[in-house]
Amino acid sequence: MSENTSDNNTPVETEISSLGEFGLIERLTKDFRMKNAGTKLGVGDDAAIITCGDKDMLVTTDLLLEGIHFDVRYVPLKHLGYKAAVVNFSDIYAMNGTPRQITVSIGVSSRFTVEHLEQIYEGIRLACETYGVDLVGGDTSGSASGLVISITCIGEADADKVVRRSGAHDTDLICVTGDLGAAFMGLQLLERENSVAAQSGDPDFRPDFAGKEYILQRQLRPEARKDIIEQLARHDIVPTSMMDISDGLSSELLHICKASDCGCRVYEDRIPIDYQTAVMAEEFNINLVTAAMNGGEDYELLFTVPLVDKEKVEKIEGVRLIGYITKPGLGAYMVTRDGGEIPIKAQGWNHLF
């Protein structure tokens, strides 16, 4: 019996959600073969790599859907535009490149006005000015399902400096930038206050955001780690592998392990977590390490470096050593505070239904 048929030879249909985002992409694209010599890397990393003279061109795209990736009831449109651009910039930085141009395509329903679109583009413009990126094109269309934003970003890097997910080696050190879990806790706060506002029925309701500005900023207006890429170059460090943390640290660690055919050990007490994140997790009765490992949308960088670069990478402010790469047969585990080992599982957010 064929893998895709039942006992009575009727086709078996597969639920999209059962594959997950990366499993779905792998299945849909497995039969595509690269036909052009200039295509160095297609599907399977933070960005595609295309040969372009003495540089490599990096291309990435991201799709944001109302009701799936954002809720306009509590996400300011200017912030949404800024975030939509920055998450694409982050993919280029994750390849050790520099974003240069974007195209923006928007689908919009009739409940949005020109002024609403101007707010979105104001956020995109601010992101472009902040990161030195040009808006060079795009498309607009009506939408029957709310607001849709699709951005494609083009970047560049020296051919010998591009970093993929697949280069990690046994004994490499695992590093992360910034702190983790704040964006997830910011989302929990926004959703709670939105629910309270709806239940109150008070048109003058004011949410309680006092002392929680950092986690809100991490959710509503994240920043890409351009500064870290610049510091790595300044210290003459080229990571052996790198990703940005969009779906959660656990998920990204497993992607690197799979692409690089390796295992890993990360230490629970080395995971960087901000104080506001810890306070909010306690208030919501959410396990703090779970939030940091699986929350997603941090847009920090996860990368590996050889042992010989340990002293150099320790000098970079905002970088934390959290573990090391192992041989593939040793698996991927978190070492707990008491010395035990827990298998790392990809439990991050799945936006496929």
**Residue spans per domain, the chain:** 37-158, 165-343
Pick the CATH number of 165-343 from 3.40.30.10, 3.90.650.10, 2.30.30.100, 3.30.465.10: 3.90.650.10
Position 47 scores a pLDDT of: 84
CATH architecture of the domain formed by 37-158: 2-Layer Sandwich (3.30)
- Count CA atoms within 13 Å of residue 327 on its CB side: 2
At residue 180 the predicted structure's pLDDT band, cuts being 50, 70 and 90, is very high
Instruction: Report the share of the chain in percent with pLDDT over 90.
Output: 76
Q: What pTM was estimated for this model as a whole?
A: 0.89
Check residue 197 and give its pLDDT: 84
Mean pLDDT of the chain, nearest integer: 90
- Alpha carbon 232 to its chain centroid, in Å, reads 20
Tens-digit pLDDT profile for residues 83-103: 999 999 999 999 999 999 999
Rounded to an integer, the average pLDDT of 297-305 is: 97
For the segment 321-336, the average pLDDT, to the nearest whole number, is: 97
What tens digit of pLDDT does each residue of 223-271 get?
Answer: 999 999 999 999 999 999 999 999 999 999 999 999 999 999 999 999 9
Q: Specify the 3-state DSSP secondary structure of 89.
A: helix
Query: Could you tell me the two tokens for 96?
Result: 């050790």
Digit-coded pLDDT (tens) for 96-149 = 999 999 999 999 999 999 999 999 999 999 999 999 999 999 999 999 889 999
Name residues whose C-beta falls within 8 Å of residue 88's C-beta, 6 or more positions apart in sequence. 60, 61, 62, 99, 102, 151, 152, 153
pLDDT score for 2: 43
Residue type, 16: I
In whole angstroms, give the CA distance from residue 32 to residue 16.
Answer: 20
Q: At what angle do helices 182-200 and 275-284 cross, to 10 degrees?
A: 50
What distance in Å separates the CA atoms of residue 271 and residue 17, rounded to the nearest whole number? Answer: 29
Q: Give the mean pLDDT of 52-64.
A: 90
